[in-house]
Copies of this chain bind each other. A is one copy, B any other.
């Protein structure tokens, strides 16, 4: 039987603190503004992907995600395959001894360690893992920057999941997108005590997909242009400085303001797009109460294209932030495990917060289905654990 070539990686989710919303080129996923995110720990949220190829495989490329066969004929997946094969081909052309992997069908198997139903943007981790796994399979010398350019074509925000820590995505100016790549602002080790508490809302699935939503915003919002042209460029600088200086107050304020700005342009879209619901508003109120009690910003909310709140805070304030939420939402799924067990439910803080945010706390209890507790983490990690066995058959990950 012909040889089966295999390589595996895991890749992380990232949650932006300066949001990507709007494409200047929908085909190449070129954004109207730069963005910046925190890469989250793969202990809690990751995609595990094995890429393999073999002359013995059936002729078409395949992708299995969480046991379900996925369509790979879409332009975005095809763009990633095409770019990676071209890089491999140039190796093969330069070295005639190199196996002709670029000509073999691809078989890819992926698994997420988090519930798809949670409404977390899994496409970022998914495309980052796909591109990184194939690059490993092809033994490409490509840097994470180069791979980010490719992953961006699969899903815009995926480019930021090629790096760990604090990651920017430079919008770039070139028409071919060659300069629209991710870059590391700082590694996770620079500011390792950043934590993220995700309040997963028990909401209906979202009405409007990100892709169609953002293009409607670009086309109809009268406020969007000033966000892209003025607000975001200023905040990108402020945020990079905040990360460099490990200044949580600045980090938190810009994070909250930019989330609000993004959702404001959604509301200014015609017809309006609402991702925040009453549960989201309640999370905002509780974060405001926490910051009021602390006398400074120690917690910062942000919302992607959905109602889930992601609340950033520093480990030193865990009791004041996660502790309050544990006291309020301790019966929800997600607290079990090493991180959650370490959080002390802070009943005193909860009682005090009830004065300012009592209705909001009740709304949260009704509207949150589970929590995820995580923190800043590393970029893609190569693994020997393969989701495809040596006969080319999918196997389940641990």
Task: State the Cβ distance, A26 to closest chain B Cβ, in Å.
Answer: 23
> A257: which B residues are within 8 A, CB to CB?
220, 222, 268, 270
Q: Does residue A365 face the partner (Cβ distance < 8 Å to B)?
A: no
How many of these chains are in the complex? 2
A side interface size, CB within 8 A: 32
> A281: which B residues are within 8 A, CB to CB?
274, 277
Annotate A259-303 by CB proximity to B: 1 below 8 A, 0 otherwise: 011011101111110100110010010001000000000000000
Task: State the Cβ distance, A359 to closest chain B Cβ, in Å.
Answer: 7
Q: Which residues in chain A, 205-255, are within 8 Å of chain B measured between CB atoms? A: 220-223, 225-227, 230-231, 234, 253
> A231: which B residues are within 8 A, CB to CB?
222-223
Task: State the Cβ distance, A4 to closest chain B Cβ, in Å.
Answer: 49
Quick one: closest B residue to A263, CB to CB?
A: B267
A226 in complex: contacting residue of B223, B234, B278, CB < 8 Å: B223
Q: Does residue A256 face the partner (Cβ distance < 8 Å to B)?
A: yes
Task: State the Cβ distance, A282 to closest chain B Cβ, in Å.
Answer: 10
Complex-state Cα separation, A256 to B284, whole angstroms: 26
- Which positions in A face B, CB cutoff 8 Å? 204, 220-223, 225-227, 230-231, 234, 253, 256-257, 260-261, 263-265, 267-272, 274, 277-278, 281, 284, 288, 359
Name 15 A/B residue pairs within 8 A (Cβ), A-sorted.
A204-B359, A222-B230, A222-B231, A222-B234, A223-B265, A226-B226, A253-B270, A256-B270, A260-B267, A260-B270, A264-B267, A264-B268, A271-B284, A271-B288, A272-B284
